[in-house]
Amino acid sequence: MTDRQLPRWSELRPLLRTKRPTLNPTDRRLANALTIADLRRIARLRTPRSVFDYTDGAAEAEISLRRARSLFANLEFRPSVLHDVSEVDTTTTMLGQPAAQPFAFAPTGFTRMMNHEGESAVARVAERAGIPYALSTMGTTSIEDVAAAAPRARKWFQLYVWKDRSAGEDLVKRAANAGFEALVLTVDVPVAGARLRDVRNGFTIPPTLTAKTVLDAAAHPAWWMNMLTTKPLQFASLTSWKGTIAELLDMLFDPTMTIDDLAWLRSIWSGPLIVKGVQTVDDARRVVDAGADAIVLSNHGGRQLDRAPVPLRILPEVAAAVGDRTEIYLDTGITSGADIVAAKALGADACMVGRAYLYGLMAGGERGVARAAEILTTEVRRTMQLLGARTVDELNPSHVRLP
């Protein structure tokens, strides 16, 4: 028989710990988000379906995106033990300049639709985190306003080649005058991909008030109130648009662009040039031979050609082919800091993340973006420690095995 006795107050008191309640609802939501997946769930609840699906979705059957995430999920880490990892250095270099983390914030279009704080909020978080931020041609904050919002941030400008080359030249000049460090030329959008979620949702820029969206507004009053009572959407590169995203892309972008056009771009831009959307080893060689300072292995987050190559799968071969001549960045399918570490180990110089910070933006504005950055940086550090790597340069293919 077990002997029992009533506990004394002196024994109970150390067990009773009170926690000061978090009164601000946004802070409370974000504090409970431990992963990017948690931020995604919050974002889905707080954002109209058409806006969430624009961010979350991909092209056609969304096979490319699922394959990319599956490869990250199914790879195997191979830790090396008995190393002093009490201090871990996550810094790396991007375009020869230091970055506090081995990732940057990728360019994303129409960002102020996810949350009214938009690109300026993302740039400010990047500035504080010590990482680059790329403003999209299809952003909803002007080049000059982003520069003013985060004057000390490392800012890159992402460019699509337009049918109207003079408009592209004007954007490049504005970016140079505003102090943007690098140009990111995206080359995987000769025409718009078939993003079926957007078609089914009747998604337009900006969202139009139909019977469907009015009903959705009742479930997301804060989002609609912010959109209707703050500054109207201002695009980084055009004044307005009333049609669908696919119609906009097909109207603006030039499907006749070839590798020879890189010379034209070099003639109007003197800074570093990053080419985004490389998906084969042969194209990596061609782009590097044409003078790119960095390439981004990317299938546009699965949003263009469905069943396109998975960037992580081709990374080791691309790194072996051109890694000694250019910097290699990687995107698509990244949902954690562990994914970033795996890509770094397999030959990437850094990663670019888009959806991850957009989920944070939708979940809580600038504070949500900061929470996304905090989650990723914590996961990067912890994964490095568990692998036995004290610096990002110690990460190598022996730490990862692909299925």
Q: Which residues are catalytic?
A: 300
Compute the distance between CA of residue 370 and CA of residue 316 in angstroms, rounded to an integer: 31
Q: At what angle do helices 337-345 and 63-74 cross, to 10 degrees?
A: 80
Compute the distance between CA of residue 373 and CA of residue 394 in angstroms, rounded to an integer: 22
Q: Which helix (H) or strand (E) holds 375?
A: helix 355-387
Compute the distance between CA of residue 213 and CA of residue 227 in angstroms, rounded to an integer: 13
Could you tell me where the DSSP H helices lie in 130-280? 143-149, 165-177, 196-201, 211-219, 221-229, 245-252, 261-268
3-state secondary structure of 236: coil
3-state secondary structure of 143: helix
The DSSP 8-state label assigned to residue 102 in this structure reads S
Compute the distance between CA of residue 94 and CA of residue 155 in angstroms, rounded to an integer: 12
